[in-house]
Amino acid sequence: MTEKSKVLALKYRPKNFEELIGQKVVSDTIINSIKADKIPNAYLFTGIRGVGKTTIARIVAKSLNCLNGIDKLCKKNLCINCEGISKSSHMDVLELNGADKTSINDIRDLIEFSRYGPTSSKYKIFIIDEVHQISSSAFNALLKILEEPPNYLKFILATTEIKKVPVTIVSRCQRFDLSRVKSEDLFQFIKRVKDKENGNVTDEALKLIVKISEGSVRDALSLLDRGLLSINKKKELDLSVAQKIFGYFDKSQLIEMFELVLQGDEKKVLEIYRNIFDQGIDPKVFINDFLELIYYFKNINSLTLESTNFSLNDAEFSKIKKISNSIDNKALILFWQFTIKTIEELEVVSNQNLAIEMYLIRLIYLSPNKQGKDMENNKTKLLVEKDSNYTSKNDVVNQIKNITQEEKIKSESDINVKAENRVIDTFKNLLNVCYEKKEIKLKYELEKNVNLVNFERNRIEISFNENLDKSFVKELSSKLYEWTGERWIISFSKEIGQISVKQRLDDDKKKLINDIKNTRLYNDFKKKFPDAYLNDVILDKKDEDK
């Protein structure tokens, strides 16, 4: 294979430590150990695919056996040893694949071969790639020779699944965890490669390649190779062409879709998604990109454009920041959990495209404006109070902020209910009426899932937890009108409010139990009955009502 015909991932594979990118700490440590003549019996390199595990293994082998020494390591004019190692044909440097040599017999042959010293170099070196795939018995056979090999023998192990390597093996090696290559370093590297290959590729297309490769140099070079081969030399590989080649879509479409989801525009949301799907985008790629977008909306104020790893451009970053200011974090966290659940659902449905469409529709019905429209259709209305903290009409906090009846839900003759004209002036009074009217479910929600912020005539302000029933506001509003003959406003507040009634009773009971345990009577009782334990206290009904 000529140098010109090689794929880019092989053609630009680093041949020495200076050509390595993103692993400076690892390379400096290895160089210093060789110079100080403190070479470990075995190296263990671990990390994701394409960050340089096998490449560093070969460079270490060259560094140990180069005829010119570590200080004058061959770069262009290779010595016999370095050339043989580069071509994987050196007699004293044996490369094995853990996927092929998995049995104990293979390892026994390796150990037997290790009894003979090197023929033309200082060290005999065994490089075992994907070492986690060899059998447990083969690992056991390696233990002794890894710990006390002959002076001329060195092992270099590489794996992407360090958890599958026994700790007894790991403890006998000098371990190096190779990190993902930083986006900026990877971008500059493939840009240099593009220039050497005379490729006509825009920076935006290169940034997309960096994003897709997720820190893997080999993946980035393979994608660049594919991109260059997909166009003729006269045509430019720009972002739009690269998105079609690699199966990715314009992020601005996703941001526009997210904005329409918040507005509850089902027709336009589905229209944009179908357009994206027609571009050949895999539903799993779409849902993961949507999940990433939710993350940016939630954390955009604590991020910089550079920290998004080229996922966003300037305009997209600014637009997300602008929209995020009008979205409540609770809604975004709910969207995140719902999206994670949908990713699990994709594994069990046959038509993932339809599943994504239904996901978007369900997301729309979770959005604030859609809920508001539904309430209007049911002859209820969203009334927004004048408040300096709620000036944006897109603010998710306003999703059910102040609720009242637009007109009578039904005429009294339709529902056969006559208003009782009761006076309900306290939260406690409201609970008592619920108990009296046997509205147990409503009483349960008020006691356990509601935190009272403010209670006054015809107006209740509350906060709530995630367990609150979706129909709670509608039911409470209807019952209050039935009992009092007046319209009530139930508003949701950003304030935490008082602890729930149930929590207060639990706290009081715990305090009472602790107080009893500190009494003389209890201690005297414990002396006579040491195995006794105070588990609960039953409060008198009068005490509960206090």
Residues 502-546 pLDDT 10s: 778 877 778 888 888 888 887 877 777 777 777 777 765 555 554
Residue-level pLDDT at 177: 92
pLDDT at 394 over 70: no
Regarding whether 132 and 20 lie in a shared domain, the answer is: yes
pLDDT at 17 over 80: yes
How far apart, in Å, are the Cα atoms of 216 and each of 50, 51, 161, 220, 243? 5, 5, 16, 6, 19
The CATH number of the domain holding residue 77 is 3.40.50.300
pLDDT at 29 over 90: yes
Beta strands in 141-290 (DSSP E): 153-159, 174-177
Does residue 332 sit within a domain?
yes
Residue-level pLDDT at 374: 53
Regarding whether 151 and 57 lie in a shared domain, the answer is: yes
The CATH number of the domain holding residue 197 is 1.10.8.60
Helix (H, G, I), strand (E, B), or coil: what is residue 450? strand
Does residue 376 sit within a domain?
no
Q: Which residues make beta-bridge pairs with 142? A: none
| ∠ Cα 283 286 288 (to 5°) | 110
Does residue 372 sit within a domain?
no
Residue-level pLDDT at 25: 92
Does residue 386 sit within a domain?
no
Most confident of 81-95, 370-384, 395-409: 81-95
Regarding whether 236 and 139 lie in a shared domain, the answer is: no
For tokens 């009578």, the residue is: 408
| Residue that terminates a domain, selected from 151, 177, 203 | 177
How many structural domains compose the chain? 5
pLDDT at 393 over 70: no
Mean pLDDT of the 230-246 span: 82
Regarding whether 353 and 463 lie in a shared domain, the answer is: no
Give CA–CA dist 259/269, Å, rounded. Answer: 9
Regarding whether 449 and 327 lie in a shared domain, the answer is: no
Regarding whether 77 and 13 lie in a shared domain, the answer is: yes
Q: How confident is the model at residue 377 (pLDDT cuts 50, 70, 90)?
A: low
Does residue 54 sit within a domain?
yes
Q: How confident is the model at residue 391 (pLDDT cuts 50, 70, 90)?
A: very low
Cβ neighbours around 329 below 10 Å, total: 13
Regarding whether 520 and 454 lie in a shared domain, the answer is: no
Does residue 212 sit within a domain?
yes
pLDDT at 359 over 70: yes
Regarding whether 140 and 155 lie in a shared domain, the answer is: yes
Q: How many helices (H) and strands (E) does the chain have?
A: 25, 10
Regarding whether 513 and 483 lie in a shared domain, the answer is: no
Give CA–CA dist 513/137, Å, rounded. Answer: 58
Cα end-to-end distance, the chain, whole Å: 89
| Range in 106-120, 304-318, 402-416 with the lowest mean pLDDT | 402-416
pLDDT > 90: percent of the chain? 16
Contact present, 245 and 226 (Cβ < 8 Å): yes
pLDDT at 123 over 70: yes
Residue-level pLDDT at 1: 56
Range of the domain at 195: 183-246
Regarding whether 428 and 309 lie in a shared domain, the answer is: no
Residue-level pLDDT at 3: 64
Q: Give the distance, in angstroms, between the CA of residue 230 and the centroid of all CA atoms in the same chain.
A: 32
Does residue 480 sit within a domain?
yes
| Range in 258-262, 307-311, 399-403, 492-496 with the lowest mean pLDDT | 399-403
pLDDT at 435 over 70: yes
Residue ranges in 312-367 assigned as alpha helix (H): 314-324, 329-346, 352-366
Does residue 3 sit within a domain?
no
| Residue that terminates a domain, selected from 177, 198, 233 | 177
- The β-bridge relationship of strands 450-456 and 174-177 is unpaired
Regarding whether 305 and 278 lie in a shared domain, the answer is: yes
Mean pLDDT of the 164-184 span: 91
How far apart, in Å, are the Cα atoms of 353 and each of 197, 282, 346, 489? 39, 8, 9, 42
Helix (H, G, I), strand (E, B), or coil: what is residue 453? strand
| Residue that terminates a domain, selected from 246, 263, 285 | 246
Regarding whether 36 and 73 lie in a shared domain, the answer is: yes
**Pair of tokens at residue 509:** 């009971």
Q: Give the distance, in angstroms, between the CA of residue 489 and the centroid of all CA atoms in the same chain.
A: 39
Give CA–CA dist 297/32, Å, rounded. Answer: 45
pLDDT at 401 over 80: no
